[in-house]
Homo-oligomer: A and B are copies of this chain.
């Protein structure tokens, strides 16, 4: 239950190399936007797979912060991605994440990825994160 502002600040400090923007966050949700530059494209003028995978992974991470509070030590345990359409090499990529389950020790979510302004997703990912025990509320006294 961290605010978008808190998450933006945390991500900026912890991952200074990241170039995506956090568009919005909410309970179990997050939307990220990745501007696309030369480093993200591959021959043929499309966005590289690793760029999409990294963005999907980051969207899950941000949605977890938004839902259970800043959790720096959450780590990805699994990511599965289907590449659906060739992303436009000259459009930013939007990642819309929704968590399907947030348990004490794991979170699972899905992410739809779009070329900005398009209706059909370019990719769809699901993933799970292991949540460290530290985030668990004390169970007694």
- List B contacts of A53 (CB < 8 A): 49-50, 53-54, 57, 79
Residue from B15, B17, B101, B130 within 8 A of A106 (CB atoms): B130
Residues A100-141 near B (CB distance < 8 A): 100-101, 105-106, 108, 110, 120-121, 124, 126, 128, 130
State A13–B130 Cα separation when bound (angstroms).
33
29 contacts between A and B (CB under 8 A): A14-B43, A15-B42, A15-B43, A43-B72, A48-B54, A49-B54, A49-B57, A49-B76, A49-B79, A50-B54, A53-B53, A53-B57, A75-B83, A77-B83, A77-B106, A78-B80, A78-B82, A79-B79, A79-B80, A80-B80, A80-B126, A82-B101, A84-B100, A85-B101, A106-B130, A110-B110, A110-B124, A124-B126, A126-B126
Interface residues of A (CB under 8 A from B): 14-15, 17, 39, 42-43, 48-51, 53-54, 57, 72, 75-86, 100-101, 105-106, 108, 110, 120-121, 124, 126, 128, 130
